[in-house]
Amino acid sequence: MTAQTPANCPTFLDLKAFSQDVPAGGSDDPLGGGARILPVRAGDCEVFVSGVAAGEGLHREARGDTWVMVLEGALRFLSADGEFDLAEGESLVIARGAQVGWRASAPVKLVGMRYLAAPDGDAGVHRIDNEAPLAPSNPPADDVLLGEKPSCRSGNQFTSVDAVFKCGIWDSTPYRRLPIHFHHSELMHLLAGSVTFTDASGRTASFGKGDTFIIEKGADCSWDSRDYVAKVYAYYRP
């Protein structure tokens, strides 16, 4: 699949498609100058993909709070908070001011979302645990649901100092809803299930387990999931 051209209206974008032509780069800082910034409407956030060649390097996160996930391969991060081994579909947050080393034994592809306006905080590294316990959370509003109310759960694992950038895990039983307006931008990686979206232009796409995509800020999108869905999320909600 080739990289997408942004639609005329805010919409959903397949981030794996953007990563297809990203080579395993030779940059010694794949989270900094070696990253490819994508043309995504994400408010005070930027979304990037990066190719990492086998080797090691150092990154100091000076530009914001950064969620990063392995799309292909495996990568080890080393920091004052410990060592973090990430396989495909695993992620962590590097808060503004944190310094991390990285080590790859083979080429790796990464995707990330950086909150550029993040205030200074703990300068730590926070692993997102895909198996963490979840607590009941609010389902969609009754006036947008098409059918039975779902049972939803969530577990937030990182919150920026100003509480507008959050990362964690969410799951839900199947449901359908009418389009809603996204005042926020939300990057999602599906751990289970599948979902179909339709945007304001009538464009439709389905995503399944292992897919990574973003709903742009300002989009109007419906949701249609016919089975259990679980996802990793990173979202910016001002």
Query: 10-22: per-residue pLDDT in tens?
Result: 999 999 888 888 8
What CA–CA distance (Å, rounded) separates 20 from 35?
14
Instruction: Flag whether the pTM goes above 0.85.
Output: yes
- 171 with 97, same domain: the answer is no
Range of the domain at 99: 12-117
157-207 tens-digit pLDDT: 999 999 999 999 999 999 999 999 999 999 999 999 999 999 999 999 999
In a domain, 125, yes or no: no
What mean pLDDT is reported for the chain?
93
Nearest to 66 by CA among 211, 237, 234, 238: 234
For residues 168 and 155, the answer to whether their CB atoms sit within 8 Å is yes
Whether 1 has a pLDDT exceeding 50, the answer reads no
In a domain, 124, yes or no: no
- 17 with 102, same domain: the answer is yes
What CA–CA distance (Å, rounded) separates 119 from 60?
16
Q: How many domains does the chain have?
A: 2
Alpha helices in the chain (DSSP H): 15-19
- 99 with 21, same domain: the answer is yes
Q: What is the CATH number of the domain that holds 142?
A: 2.60.120.10
Q: Regarding predicted confidence, which is higher, 18 or 222?
A: 222
